[in-house]
C-alpha cells in the first residue's frame, strides 16, 4: 500500500513546497517594496527636516535701529556666527573685505526686481565671516527675501550673519527622530555629517539602510541611516506574513486529511475484497461441526444410539442457527460496527457448557480434549446470551485453530459475589508481544509464517472484545511464543 501511495504523497509534498516557495517570493517582494517605500518616504522626510531647520534660521524682521533679530533657537547662541540660508538668486554683487568680514548690499525695489542702486528701494545687507563665500550661496540667501519683499517696510536695512556650520549633528538627530515618531515611524535614526570629498571615506554597513544625502549651504551634507529598520519592516509585514502562514497551514492540513482519506478508502476497499474471498474461512468451524455430525450419523452408527443421535441432531440445529447469526454479525460488524442487544437474566455456566457441547464432534474428529473445571458459585447475571455465546465460541475456536501439537485446551470458570471469571488456555503457537494489543481490533491477524492452513479474517477476537465491553467487563491476554496463550475475561454481576 505504501508503494502504491508514494506518487500521491510525493505530489502533495511537491505542491506544499511550491506553495512555500511562492510564499517566500511574495514575502520577499513585499519586503523589498516596503524597504523601498521606507527609504523614499523617510528620505523625503529627512530632506524636509533639514530644509525646515535651515529655513527656521530666517531672520524675521529688524529693529528700527538696524540691529538684526535672530529667531529664538537653542542652537543659535552666537549671533555673529549663525544666521540664515535661502535658496536661489542670481545677481551680481560686490564685497568689501574688512577684517575678514565682507558686506554685500542688494537693493530690492517694491516690485521684487533687483537693482544695484536706487534711493527708493530697500537695502539688504549681508555679512559673512567666510571670505570663501560663493555666488551660489548668495543665490540661496537672497531669493526668498525678494519673494517676500512686499511685506518689508520701505527703506529698511536687513542684516544676516552666516558661518559655514549652521547647526550640528546632535540637533539634526533630535529633530529628525522627533519627526519620525510624529509620523508613526518606530525607528531611531543616526546621522552622518561630511564635507565634499569625505563621503567615500565614511564606513558602510550592509545591514544599515542609508537615506539620500541632503546638502546645506557652504558645502556641508547630512545623511541619515537606520540600523534597526528590519524589525520595523517585519512588524509592518506581520499581517501578510500571518495570512501566508494560515493559508499554508490550511492547505497542508487539507492535504493531510486528503491523504488519510485515500489511505482509509484503500483500506476499506482491501477489506471489502478480502471479506468476499475469506469470509467462508470465518464460517468454517460451524459448517465443519454440522458436517462432522452428519458424517457421524451416516457412517459411524451414531444413528443407532437414540441418545447419541438426538444429541448430534441438537448440535447440528444449534450450529445452523449460530451459523446464520454469525453471518449477520460478521456483515454487521464489517459495515457498521457491533450493536448492543437487549440483556436478560441468564446463567453463564449453562451458555459455556452448551458451547463446549457444540464443539464435541469437532474435538473428537481432531483428537482434542477439553479440560473443563468450574467452581461452585452462582453464575446468574444480566447479559446478552447471543453475544456471550459468540464470545465463548470464538475463544474456543481460536484455541483449536492455533493448537498444533498439544491438543489439550483448559477452561476454568470462577465466580464470586461481584464477578464471573472465564479462563481459556491453549498450548499453541502463542502471540508475539508486539501484536498482543492489536489482536482485539477488527480485521487484524497476527502473521504466522509457518502456518498456512489456518484461515480467518481477524474478526473473532474483535467480536470477543466487543462482547466483553458490551457487558462492562475486562479482558486480559498472556502469551508466550510456542508455549500458548491464556485469555482471562472478567464480567461484573451487578451490571
Domain assignment present for residue 51? The answer is no
Which CATH number does the domain housing residue 441 bear? 3.30.565.10
The pLDDT value recorded for residue 246 is 92
- Considering the domain architecture, whether residues 288 and 144 belong to the same structural domain is answered as no
The answer to whether residue 393 sits within a structural domain is yes
Backbone angles phi, psi at 214, to 5 degrees: -125, 125
* Cα–Cα dist 320/290, whole Å: 7
Give me the domain span that covers residue 138. Answer: 58-162
Domain end, chosen from 162, 177, 212, is at 162
pTM exceeds cut of 0.75: no
423 assigned to some structural domain = yes
| Cβ 494 vs Cβ 483: under 8 Å | no
Grid coordinates belonging to 356 = 463446549
Residues belonging to the chain: 495
What does the alpha-carbon distance between residue 60 and residue 152 come to, in Å, rounded to a whole number? 10
The answer for residues whose C-beta is within 8 angstroms of residue 290's C-beta and 6 or more apart is 316, 319, 320, 323
Q: How far is residue 432's CA from residue 424's CA, in Å, rounded to a whole number?
A: 18
Q: Which residues of 191-208 are buried (b: 16+ CB within 10 A; e: fewer)?
A: bbbbeeeeeeeeeeeeee
The answer to whether position 477 is within a domain reads: yes
pLDDT in tens, the chain (495 residues): 566 778 888 888 898 899 899 989 988 898 889 889 988 998 999 888 888 887 666 443 333 334 343 333 333 333 333 443 333 333 333 333 333 333 344 443 333 333 434 334 344 444 444 434 444 555 555 555 555 545 544 444 444 444 555 667 888 888 888 988 888 888 888 888 877 666 666 677 777 888 888 887 666 788 888 888 888 888 888 888 898 889 889 998 998 898 888 888 888 887 776 666 556 555 666 777 788 778 777 766 656 677 777 877 888 887 788 778 767 766 666 565 555 567 889 999 999 998 888 888 777 777 788 899 999 999 999 998 888 988 898 898 888 888 777 788 999 999 998 999 999 998 888 888 877 777 777 666 666 544 445 555 566 788 888 889 999 999 999 988 888 899 999 999 875
Q: What is the largest CA-CA distance in the chain?
A: 160
Pairing mode, strands 380-383 and 344-347: antiparallel
Residues 288, 291, 297, 300, CA torsion sign: negative
Q: Please list, in sequence order, all residues whose beta carbon lies within 8 angstroms of the beta carbon of residue 285, skipping any fewer than 6 positions away.
A: 362, 393, 397, 400
Give the 3-state DSSP-derived string for 179-196, with helices as H, strands as E and coil as C.
HHHHCCCCCCEEEEEECC
The neighbour count for residue 143, using CB atoms within 10 Å, is 18
Residue 149 contacts residue 181 (beta carbons within 8 Å): no
Q: What distance lies between CA 397 and its chain's CA centroid? A: 49
The residue out of 162, 178, 195 marking a domain boundary is: 162
Q: Which of 482, 469, 430, 444 is nearest to 338 (CA)?
A: 469
Q: Which residue has the cell 517582494?
A: 29
Residue 158 shares a structural domain with residue 287: no
Does residue 255 lie within any of the structural domains? no
> SS3 of 454, please?
coil
Q: Which of 442, 450, 406 is nearest to 426 (CA)?
A: 406
The pLDDT value recorded for residue 287 is 79
Note whether residue 104 is domain-resident. Answer: yes
Looking at 162, 177, 200, which one is the last position of a domain?
Answer: 162
The 10 Å Cβ neighbour count of residue 94 is 10
DSSP tag of 455: -
Query: Which of 422, 409, 421, 464 lies closest to 439, judged by CA?
Result: 464
Q: How many domains does the chain have?
A: 2
Extract the C-alpha cell encoding 369: 480434549
- Model pLDDT, residue 411: 94
Residue 193 lies in a domain: no
Domain contains 260: no
Element (H, E) at 414: strand 408-415
d(CA 62, CA 163): 20
For residue 320, give the C-alpha cell: 445452523
pLDDT at residue number 420: 95
For residues 156 and 296, membership in a common domain is answered with no
> Which residues is 225 bridged to in the sheet?
190, 210
Statement to judge: residues 328 and 472 lie in one domain: yes
**Looking at 36-188, which runs of residues are DSSP E strands?**
96-98, 101-108, 114-115, 122-128, 157-162
Q: What is the DSSP letter of 213?
A: P
Amino acid at each position: 500500500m505504501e508503494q502504491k501511495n508514494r506518487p500521491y504523497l510525493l505530489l502533495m509534498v511537491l505542491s506544499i513546497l511550491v506553495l512555500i516557495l511562492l510564499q517566500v517570493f511574495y514575502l520577499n517582494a513585499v519586503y523589498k517594496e516596503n524597504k523601498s517605500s521606507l527609504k523614499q518616504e523617510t528620505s523625503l522626510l529627512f530632506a524636509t527636516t533639514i530644509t525646515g531647520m535651515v529655513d527656521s534660521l530666517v531672520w524675521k524682521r529688524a529693529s528700527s535701529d538696524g540691529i538684526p533679530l535672530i529667531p529664538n533657537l537653542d542652537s543659535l547662541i552666537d549671533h555673529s556666527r549663525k544666521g540664515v540660508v535661502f535658496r536661489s538668486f542670481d545677481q551680481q554683487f560686490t564685497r568689501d573685505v574688512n577684517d575678514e568680514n565682507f558686506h554685500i548690499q542688494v537693493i530690492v525695489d517694491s516690485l521684487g526686481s533687483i537693482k544695484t542702486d536706487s534711493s527708493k528701494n530697500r537695502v539688504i545687507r549681508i555679512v559673512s565671516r567666510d571670505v570663501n563665500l560663493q555666488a551660489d550661496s548668495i543665490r540661496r540667501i537672497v531669493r526668498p527675501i525678494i519673494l517676500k519683499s512686499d511685506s518689508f517696510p520701505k527703506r529698511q536695512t536687513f542684516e544676516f550673519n552666516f558661518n559655514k556650520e549652521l547647526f550640528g549633528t546632535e540637533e539634526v538627530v533630535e529633530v529628525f527622530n522627533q519627526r519620525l515618531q510624529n509620523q508613526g515611524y518606530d525607528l531611531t535614526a543616526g546621522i552622518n555629517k561630511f564635507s565634499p570629498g569625505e563621503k567615500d571615506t565614511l564606513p558602510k554597513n550592509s545591514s544599515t539602510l542609508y537615506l539620500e544625502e541632503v546638502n546645506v549651504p557652504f558645502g556641508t551634507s547630512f545623511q541619515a541611516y537606520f540600523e534597526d529598520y528590519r524589525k520595523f519592516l517585519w512588524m509592518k509585514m506581520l499581517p501578510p506574513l500571518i495570512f501566508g502562514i494560515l493559508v499554508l497551514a490550511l492547505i497542508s492540513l487539507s492535504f493531510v486529511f486528503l491523504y488519510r482519506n485515500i489511505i482509509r478508502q484503500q483500506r476499506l476497499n482491501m477489506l471489502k475484497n478480502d471479506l468476499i474471498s475469506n469470509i467462508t474461512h470465518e464460517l468454517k468451524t460451524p459448517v465443519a461441526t454440522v458436517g462432522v455430525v452428519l458424517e457421524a450419523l451416516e457412517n459411524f452408527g451414531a444413528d443407532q444410539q437414540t441418545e447419541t443421535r438426538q444429541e448430534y441432531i441438537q448440535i447440528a440445529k444449534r450450529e445452523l442457527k449460530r451459523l446464520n447469526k454469525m453471518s449477520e454479525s460478521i456483515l454487521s460488524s464489517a459495515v457498521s460496527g457491533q450493536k448492543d442487544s437487549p440483556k436478560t437474566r441468564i446463567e453463564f455456566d449453562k451458555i459455556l457448557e452448551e458451547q463446549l457441547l457444540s464443539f464435541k464432534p469437532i474435538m473428537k474428529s481432531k483428537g482434542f480434549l477439553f479440560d473443563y473445571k468450574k467452581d461452585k458459585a452462582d453464575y446468574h447475571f444480566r447479559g446478552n446470551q447471543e453475544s456471550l455465546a459468540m464470545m465463548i465460541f470464538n475463544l474456543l475456536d481460536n484455541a483449536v485453530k492455533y493448537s498444533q501439537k498439544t491438543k489439550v485446551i483448559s477452561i476454568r470458570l470462577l465466580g464470586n459475589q461481584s464477578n464471573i471469571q472465564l479462563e481459556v488456555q491453549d498450548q499453541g503457537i502463542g502471540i508475539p508481544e508486539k501484536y498482543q494489543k492489536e489482536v482485539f481490533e477488527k480485521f487484524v491477524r497476527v502473521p504466522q509464517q509457518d502456518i498456512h492452513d489456518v484461515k480467518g479474517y481477524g474478526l473473532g477476537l474483535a467480536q470477543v472484545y466487543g462482547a466483553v465491553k458490551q457487558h462492562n467487563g475486562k479482558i486480559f491476554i498472556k502469551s508466550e511464543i510456542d508455549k500458548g496463550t491464556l485469555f482471562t475475561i472478567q464480567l461484573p454481576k451487578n451490571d
